[in-house]
Structure formats: C-alpha cells, structure tokens
Chains A and B, each alone.
Chain A
Amino acid sequence: MSVAGETADAERALAELLALEREIVEAAYVRRADALERVSDAVRRLGEIGSPQGIIERAAEELGMSSEFDRVMLGEVRGDELHPRALWSGQDPDDATAALEELRRAPFRLEYPSIEDEVARRQRTEIVEAPAPRARANRRLAEVLGWNGYVVTALVVQGNAVGLLHADATASGRLPDALDAEVATRYAEGLAGVFERAVLREMLQLHHHELRSAVEWMSARLGQLATGAADVSAASDLGEAGTTDALTARELDVLRLLARGQTNLEIARELVVREGTIKYHVKNILRKMGATSRADAVSRYARARR
C-alpha cells in the first residue's frame, strides 16, 4: 500500500476512534449525572418520611430502587459491633428476608483488620473486591451474602459513625466501580442528614410532651393544694387571653359544641335556648379568649394547653 493510502487509512481510523471516544465520554457523563440525580430523589423521598424508625426501615430499599445495586444492607454500629437492620434484594425479596434473619442471629464484631472496622473508624467509603482482600472482608458476611465484591460506606451523624451501608451487584455479575462508590457515599450522606433531622424533631416533640405531662401533674397537685388550703380566693375572674379560665360553665358548654362544628342554631337546640343567646355567648367567648373567629377560639384553647 502506498504511503498516502496508509495515511488516509490511519486518519480515517483516528476519526472513528475519536468519535467513539466522544460517545463513551458522553455515555459516562449521562450515567453519572443520572445516577446522582436518582440518589438526590431517593434522599428527598426519605425526607418525606417523618419518623426516624420509618426512615431506617425504608433506607435500604430506597437506595436499591434508585441505583444499579442488586442488594443493599443497612447495619447499625453499636460500640464495636455491627447489627444488621435491613436488607433489600432486587432479585429475591424472600431470600433477603431469610438472609437478614441469618445475619441478625449475632452481631458482627468491628475489629482490626476488617474493612468494616476501617470504614467505621475513618468514616469513608471502600470498594471491596473479593477474593483478593477477602482476609480483610468479613467472612461471615461473605458466606451469608455470597458476594463477589461490594461497596461499604459509613453513615455519619454529628461526627459519629452510627451505621454502615453495604451494597453489591453480584447478581448482575458486576463488580462495584467508582460510580457505585460515589452513589453509595452520596446516599449515605443524604440519609445521615435526613435521619439526624428526624431524630432531632422527635426529641423536641418528646421533650414538649414530657414537659406538658409535668405541667399537668403539677397543676393537678396544685389543685389539691388549693382545696386544702385556707386561701380559696385566688381564682381571678378574667384569665389570660387564650385560656378558658375566664369562661363560665355555660360558655364552656358552648365552646365544646362549637369545636364539634355545630352552628349557633344547632347549639341553641342542644342547650335548649334561643339562638340569640348562643350568639351572645359566642361573642363573650371570643372576647374573653381574645380570639378573632370560632376556629381561632378552638385553636387558642388547644395552644393554651400545649
């Protein structure tokens, strides 16, 4: 072949290879952008679950459904032990249930030189490719789950590794790659944030609830004290705005019926009085409670008793 012909061949081949590289680069970009987008959506859906326990129960499945992993396991780190909490399998949900039961039989020890221990301590993500580092991978985990390789990442809340997330693609005959690690890491970060906020919200609610109980206990106790004590003139006529202290027994009756959504006429019938009387009572209730509407009166009543 002539030199010119060779050059032309080489140039054509080069053009084709460049076109192919471009396609591959584009495909890689689309795959990565798409994978990360799906992770964000999954985290957002987790955020719509209110309770911390609900989030943990959903967490493995949500990642499984939003990624190319075949299996996802979520474990809780307690001291130097790992307690598997949830296992999701895209191929075989029944198998996952059985495997989880087997895994939960006894916790896994997080100790040197296992990969799990390192991931928990250093709060990072690792790609484990069996069989090479099998010595460092957990033997029992590998036996139960029979994986070729997996990604493991730490769930970090307020600087502590509170859990580990394992994921693999063994059923698809695939070893985890850098993108799998990125997906798992991003998801773990999102999950940790969602979980932390849910826990804080729950704590705050619990705190309020307990304070309310304490106040109720105390006011019941004070009630007893007041009846026993000589001074019974303390009750003042007009209470604080928003409370029902100032309401008469009749007004309380009206407020109760009003909260049930009854109209003035219905209340009048129930209490066997004229509608005009009810209007008069409602007006006084609103004034004494500083409420702007009937709904507001109900709302104020509840708020004063928080």
Chain B
Amino acid sequence: MKLDDELERRLTDQVARARELLELPAQPETDLDELRALIAALRDRLPATELGGSIEEQESALERLRQRFEARFEALDRVQAAIAELREVTSPREMLLRAPAVLCAGSSFERAFLSLVKGGRMVAEAAHFAGDERAAVTVLAELQANPLRLEHPLIETELLRRRRATIVVDANVHPRVDREVARLMGWRSYAAAPLVVGSQVVGVIHADRGAGQSLDVLDRDVLWEFATGLAQAYESSVLRRTLRDERDQMREFLEWQRARSSELTDAPVTLAAGGHAPLPPPVPPPATAGWVGAENRRDDRVVFEGLLTRRELDVLRLLAEGATNHQVADALVISSGTVKFHVGSILRKLHAANRAEAVTRYLRLMGMRVP
C-alpha cells in the first residue's frame, strides 16, 4: 500500500522505537503488517489488569472505524453484483419490475419501489417489501391510484432536476416531502434516486429500511450506485430490444411483400380474376420499449456541442418533436417561465427569428429533411 512520505517516515520511526522497546533486532523496511504485529506483541507484554481504559477505547474505536470503512466498500460491491444480476434480464420492462426486489436482496434496504416519470407524474410500477409481499401489493396499488404530481417544492421534483440521489433524514419534519406518500410508507427516513437514461430522467427509485427506520449517507450512495447501474443496464437492454424488434418487423414486411408480389405475378388469369382489392401490409405490433427515441439522443449533443447548453438542447429537442412550451415544462419538470427563458437563449444562439426557424435549424443539422 502506498503511504504519503510523512506517514511513511513516522511509521518507520515508531516501528523502530517499538522494536527497540521489545528488544527485537532493527529492520530496514517496514509496513502495516509489521505495525500490527508489534501492536499485538506490546499488547501481550502488558498484563491485562494494568491496561489503561484509554487503550481499550482506542482499540475499539479503531475496530469500529475499520468496520465502517469495510462496510462501505462491501455495500458498493454488493450493488455491483445486483446490477450484474439485472443485466441478465433481457426484457427492459421485466428488468425495471424486478429492480426493487434485486435492490433489497443486494443491500441493507428492506423496502423499495420504482416509479416511471410520465407526463409530469410519478407512476409507481413495482414495489418490494422484504418479507411482506402483501403490504407491497397494497402500497403499490395505492401509489398507482394517486400518482404523485411532480410539482415545484417536492423533493422528487428537485431530484429530477439535479439528477443526483438524496436522502430525507426525517420525513416528518421535512417541508418538501409529500405527506400522502410519507404516511402510506410510514417513513422516518428514505432515500431516492433518479434513473437517468441519456439526457432524460425516466424514473425514480425510493428505498428505506422499513417504517420508522433511519438511514445514513452510505444508503444514499448505495442507492445512487444502484440507480446509475440500473439506468445503464436498462438503456442497453432497450437499445438491443429496439434493434431486434425493428429487424423482425422489417423481415416480416419483406417476406410478406415478396410472397404477395409472387402471388400477384404468378396468379393465372381466369374468369374469376380481376376485382382484387389491394392488400395492406401486416400491421407491426406497437413498440415494446417503454423508453423510445433512442436515436439522435447523443448525437445531437455532438452536433450542438459548445453552442447550446445541455438544458437548452433538451428544450430544443422537445420543440423539434412538436412540443408546446407547456409540454416542455412538464417533460423537463421546470416552470414555463424557465422554458421561455431557454427558448429565448436558443433563438439568440441559433440566430433564429422564432421557434419554427429554430426547429428547422435543429432538424437540418440532425440530417432530416425540412420543407
């Protein structure tokens, strides 16, 4: 292990002194193991009855510290293992539905629920309560019956904007916690983290250690690690699924087309022939992915790099999809005033006279055909 020079020098000095005291021969090099061996040797030499209380205090403090540090790395390692498990799930939706249970199994959280952000609301999709699946089902139903509106002072709203995990230490006195959800969960403290896919917040995951239990900063970090890993695994899975679906649909269409062309070409001309109505091609199934629009998402960042801020680009992308200011505000969880402000900056930076021209610029730069 690498120590800084000052610590290294003190280690050498003190180990030399301790060896002298124990009447051991001097050694040129030393390390932490040596230090520990000397501590044990000195400890043995001292009669237990005469050991000062301060030594024991020091020892137990050191032990606690070591445990706390190890707990942190262990917890983060377990999250990685949980993510690896989720990666095995091929269906994107299934992955999200299983996430709360996998999180609880791979951490010290006892309860977790995952919600998707839809039209300015937080819609719960899956919940897991360790050892009490019935309660999970009930709570999930209640959460679904009243999806939380993501409005200004709420901590969840803030979460979407900041794209970082957070913990609420005391939900009862926190002014920005939704009272209904807090009551439903019996929260004392809880952690929450956004699922950020590309530049979009697609969902939020909440977790706690049971009603009335408290959490600390490590819990927040664990949840954030999990949410980040889950979002990435989810994105990969959505992309893979989308590609596969497109291939399948295309294949199906081409096969239908070939068969139909052959049928029409090879049909014998009989008296019954004629009067064929054109057959429509097979209708593809609706898109399976919950999160679409994967294309362009990163590319436009490259195109507009250095020109627009990330937020301005978020706004412009939505405008180009035909969204109104109000819809943009809903999607990005910001106020209409902020949207107007961003639109103003976009127009100025793109030298566009109005929104229509800004959209034209965007689409053209993204290689789309514009009127």
Give residues 115-169 of B contacting A (CB, 8 Å).
none
Give residues 151-207 of A contacting B (CB, 8 Å).
174, 177-179, 189, 193, 196-198, 200-201, 203-205, 207
Q: Write out the residue numbers on chain B whose beta carbons fall within 8 Å of the beta carbon of A26.
A: 65
Could you tell me if B14 and A7 are in contact, using CB atoms closer than 8 angstroms? no
Question: Which single member of B21, B296, B353, B356 contacts A298 (CB below 8 Å)?
Answer: B356
Nearest-Cβ distance from residue B77 to partner chain A, whole angstroms:
10
Question: Which single member of B35, B232, B242 contacts A21 (CB below 8 Å)?
Answer: B35
Could you tell me if B236 and A298 are in contact, using CB atoms closer than 8 angstroms? no
Q: Write out the residue numbers on chain B whose beta carbons fall within 8 Å of the beta carbon of A141.
A: none
Closest to B246 in A: A207
Could you tell me if B14 and A293 are in contact, using CB atoms closer than 8 angstroms? no
Question: Which single member of B61, B65, B371 contacts A255 (CB below 8 Å)?
Answer: B371
Q: Write out the residue numbers on chain B whose beta carbons fall within 8 Å of the beta carbon of A174.
A: 2
Q: Write out the residue numbers on chain B whose beta carbons fall within 8 Å of the beta carbon of A299.
A: 319-322, 359, 363
Q: A48-B301, A293-B324 are in contact. Are A14 and B55 (CB under 8 A)?
A: yes
Q: Write out the residue numbers on chain B whose beta carbons fall within 8 Å of the beta carbon of A255.
A: 371
Partner-binding segment picked from A72-80, A91-99, A258-266: A258-266
Helix, strand, loop or mixed for chain B's interface? helix
- Asked if B10 is an interface residue, CB under 8 A from chain A, the answer is yes
Could you tell me if B355 and A24 are in contact, using CB atoms closer than 8 angstroms? no
Q: CA separation between A303 and B51, bound complex, in Å?
A: 80
Could you tell me if B236 and A197 are in contact, using CB atoms closer than 8 angstroms? yes
Could you tell me if B32 and A21 are in contact, using CB atoms closer than 8 angstroms? yes
Q: Write out the residue numbers on chain A whose beta carbons fall within 8 Å of the beta carbon of B14.
A: 13, 16-17, 20
Q: A24-B11, A204-B242 are in contact. Are A177 and B356 (CB under 8 A)?
A: no
Question: Which single member of A18, A179, A252, A291 contacts B55 (CB below 8 Å)?
Answer: A18
- Asked if B294 is an interface residue, CB under 8 A from chain A, the answer is yes
Closest to B310 in A: A48
Q: Write out the residue numbers on chain B whose beta carbons fall within 8 Å of the beta carbon of A24.
A: 3, 7, 11, 32, 35
Give residues 294-312 of B contacting A (CB, 8 Å).
294-299, 301-302
Nearest-Cβ distance from residue A167 to partner chain B, whole angstroms:
15
Q: CA separation between A28 and B46, bound complex, in Å?
A: 29
- Asked if A89 is an interface residue, CB under 8 A from chain B, the answer is no
Give residues 228-261 of B contacting A (CB, 8 Å).
232, 235-236, 239-240, 242-243, 246-247, 250
- Asked if A33 is an interface residue, CB under 8 A from chain B, the answer is yes
Give residues 202-236 of B contacting A (CB, 8 Å).
232, 235-236
Nearest-Cβ distance from residue A151 to partner chain B, whole angstroms:
14
Question: Which single member of B72, B296, B298 contacts A198 (CB below 8 Å)?
Answer: B298
Q: Write out the residue numbers on chain B whose beta carbons fall within 8 Å of the beta carbon of A135.
A: none
Could you tell me if A197 and B239 are in contact, using CB atoms closer than 8 angstroms? yes
Q: Write out the residue numbers on chain A whose beta carbons fall within 8 Å of the beta carbon of B368.
A: 302, 305-306
Partner-binding segment picked from B37-45, B172-180, B265-273, B332-340: B37-45
Could you tell me if A207 and B62 are in contact, using CB atoms closer than 8 angstroms? no
Q: Write out the residue numbers on chain A whose beta carbons fall within 8 Å of the beta carbon of B62.
A: 18, 21-22, 25
Give 1 or 0 for each of A30-71: 1 = CB within 8 Å of chain B CB: 011100100000000000111100100000000000000000
Closest to B347 in A: A261
Could you tell me if B235 and A22 are in contact, using CB atoms closer than 8 angstroms? no
- Asked if A111 is an interface residue, CB under 8 A from chain B, the answer is no
- Asked if B341 is an interface residue, CB under 8 A from chain A, the answer is no
Nearest-Cβ distance from residue B37 to partner chain A, whole angstroms:
10
Give residues 267-306 of A contacting B (CB, 8 Å).
291-303, 305-306
Instruction: Other than A14-B55, A25-B65, A211-B246, give 14 A-B pairs with Cβ distance below 8 A.
Output: A11-B55, A15-B55, A22-B58, A24-B3, A25-B66, A196-B236, A201-B294, A203-B243, A244-B371, A293-B355, A294-B354, A294-B355, A295-B355, A298-B370
Q: What would 17 A/B residue contacts be, using CB atoms closer than 8 Å?
A: A11-B55, A15-B55, A16-B14, A17-B14, A17-B38, A178-B1, A193-B236, A198-B298, A203-B239, A204-B242, A255-B371, A259-B356, A294-B354, A295-B355, A296-B322, A300-B322, A305-B368
Q: Which residues of A pack against B, CB within 8 Å?
A: 7, 9-11, 13-29, 31-33, 36, 48-51, 54, 174, 177-179, 189, 193, 196-198, 200-201, 203-205, 207-208, 211, 244, 252, 255-256, 258-263, 291-303, 305-306
